[in-house]
Structure 1
């Protein structure tokens, strides 16, 4: 707070509320942090929950949807920071009106703290990744020709919960054949057929931390062309994993993987970034992207997920979640990446 020249900070983003306090219903709460005290403001639905999850925070009982009581906690002379990247302009104007002065825009303050994970966080992420691996085994035994994409996605989502996840990290992707050319395609009624490629991208929140893994498999058999393209994407993905280490620049890792695909003329089919951070949010900093110059540090956690998407043909994506470690990285999604036919 000193670095940002603020005396008081209002925290609104649910993941940041969870990170600082342990309170899991942050969408209906605010934190007010002053030099001497720390308050958690929420309504009667959560008072007992606060006592269980955030006993070190002073509970301010609120029943007004605009959190009016929190403004009585703030010194009128204080410079009050707000999460400018998260709150709406209407929120900003409301806070300004109640404070009687301009709040101080503060961008990504807590997110900067969340970049590097501690050992407890890393273990939660390993556990989430392990669930992804276990669910893949279940899915591989379930998948067969004649099932719809939607049935596959629903089965994966069900297994995530059966293995202990509170919810999906995002809507499970299961797209086959030409539909696999859609990086974030919606599972539909298309039935799996002999020779189809099937891309499955999924994960779940376990102990509040997200899992994320993608595998592309083939139904019955893979054509020589599909096999060739799969091995080239796998080569690029393995290169990306090998380059994730402390001191590496995110944009350099992304560029190297694109260059790998370019030697085969496939880079034109790879449009999205190479990867993203994973933690309390499924997509968070840092980004493995041509637009991100963040330097990787030990215990950051990122995905490495190159893909190619060819209209009318299909797509292949392979994704692991990895922890940045001294001398390299720890891959925490262990499902085999060899070409698999089901």
Structure 2
């Protein structure tokens, strides 16, 4: 039997993508402009976030490599045979399938589109050392150029269509938050509360986006000592009266991440806890007031640092105050150039989307022990910022159960 290295399996009709064809064409035009500036003849993008951003296809790797190859005239996703026709149905542009019959058929597929001896753009922050060596072996590039920074900067500026999707995601997160609030009571396990929020969000996503693919939506719901880290997994711990809680809702819509994060207490909050909570709420409100065009991420960070220093609380801060939104997830994607940290000098501009999420963590041997965090998503506008998070923060609404 003659078994091919690659083939095209355009099975069925193209599916509805998260955005119109014109949106993807505009993104590709922006990429090609950056390629021209860098002298790149073919871009070989391998990350989930960039492939999804420029083509609409969000791959499931399971140990296999994937790519989007962009040239002056072509945009072709490269996918594994195990996926059959789904990558073609769910991508903007062409798709080429590689087979498992011979090792490195993936790179043969990439070569058939990118060519040999050309100036190749790639993502240095994603391609492994082993795959980089294979790129050199199969494509024999005259020069390689890292496009990771250029593509990140493009993704940081959201289109109107992206902002509309992000706003919908924020509303889905709110729905998850209310479902979690309704599920909180003494004796309930963290996992039970988390499932209530996740189910509510998935149902809301399916209602709003009936033609989408559904995956990756999740909740981190933590209680007591488990609130000390922002990304601590859910456990089977049962809630007790007076517990500090951390609500974290993460709806995923076609690769686009949004979030809702809130501090809550079961039944009552003791005076020491209430004082720290209210201080963090004040920090949150102060931080949101600083988000406007023309201000750098570092400047916002320094202002919040000073605010906490005046209250002798800065030592309880554990990470930055916010980050960008778009095509990202807890296991892929990150627009590291738009984070509220001391070492980021990016200036906020209209069309950027960023969170404000101060967190104070007090150790177990201190009154008010636990992790306190509020999180809202803001869209930078021409003269300020629009808060697109609706679920209330603070003690008046979030002492429950």
TM band (smaller chain): over 0.9
- Asked if 1:188 corresponds to 2:258, the answer is no
| In structure 2, distance between residues paired with 1:322 and 1:99 | 43
- Which one of the candidate residues 96, 99, 107 is aligned to 1:63? 99
* Gap change, CA 1:323 and 1:263, over 3 Å in 2: same
State the Cα deviation string for residues 287-331 of structure 1 (Å, max 9, x = none). Answer: 111121111111111111001101101121111111111221111
Deviation at 1:208, TM superposition (A): 3.0
Residues 10-21 of structure 1: matches in 2 within 5 Å? 10-21=44-55
SS in 1 for 2:339: strand
| In structure 2, distance between residues paired with 1:149 and 1:338 | 21
- Asked if 1:31 corresponds to 2:78, the answer is no
* Gap change, CA 1:180 and 1:73, over 3 Å in 2: closer
- Asked if 1:281 corresponds to 2:318, the answer is no
* Gap change, CA 1:23 and 1:79, over 3 Å in 2: same
TM-score (norm 1): 0.93
- Asked if 1:99 corresponds to 2:139, the answer is yes
SS in 2 for 1:108: helix
Match of 2:269 in 1: 222
Deviation at 1:216, TM superposition (A): 0.5
Deviation at 1:74, TM superposition (A): 3.0
| In structure 2, distance between residues paired with 1:130 and 1:298 | 21
| In structure 2, distance between residues paired with 1:135 and 1:14 | 26
| In structure 1, distance between residues paired with 2:141 and 2:399 | 63
Mapped contact 1:167–1:204 kept (Cα < 8 A): no
SS in 2 for 1:151: helix
| In structure 2, distance between residues paired with 1:77 and 1:118 | 35
Match of 1:305 in 2: 357
Mapped contact 1:160–1:168 kept (Cα < 8 A): no
Mapped contact 1:168–1:202 kept (Cα < 8 A): no
Match of 1:128 in 2: 169
Deviation at 1:45, TM superposition (A): 4.2
Deviation at 1:26, TM superposition (A): 6.8
Aligned length: 340
Match of 1:3 in 2: 37
- Asked if 1:233 corresponds to 2:280, the answer is yes
Any unmatched runs of 5+ in structure 1? none
Match of 1:292 in 2: 344
Deviation at 1:19, TM superposition (A): 1.1
Match of 1:52 in 2: 89
* Gap change, CA 1:328 and 1:34, over 3 Å in 2: same
| In structure 2, distance between residues paired with 1:294 and 1:261 | 22
Mapped contact 2:171–2:389 kept (Cα < 8 A): yes
| In structure 1, distance between residues paired with 2:69 and 2:354 | 30
- Which one of the candidate residues 191, 194, 202 is aligned to 1:150? 191
Mapped contact 2:177–2:247 kept (Cα < 8 A): no
SS in 1 for 2:399: coil
| In structure 1, distance between residues paired with 2:238 and 2:115 | 62
* Gap change, CA 1:177 and 1:46, over 3 Å in 2: closer
Deviation at 1:75, TM superposition (A): 3.6
Residues 105-120 of structure 1: matches in 2 within 5 Å? 105-106=145-146, 107-120=148-161
TM-score (norm 2): 0.80
Mapped contact 2:116–2:138 kept (Cα < 8 A): no
Match of 1:326 in 2: 382
Deviation at 1:225, TM superposition (A): 1.7
- Asked if 1:317 corresponds to 2:373, the answer is yes
Mapped contact 1:82–1:103 kept (Cα < 8 A): no
- Asked if 1:341 corresponds to 2:382, the answer is no
| In structure 2, distance between residues paired with 1:159 and 1:10 | 38
SS in 1 for 2:37: coil
| In structure 1, distance between residues paired with 2:47 and 2:134 | 17
Any unmatched runs of 5+ in structure 2? 1-34, 207-213
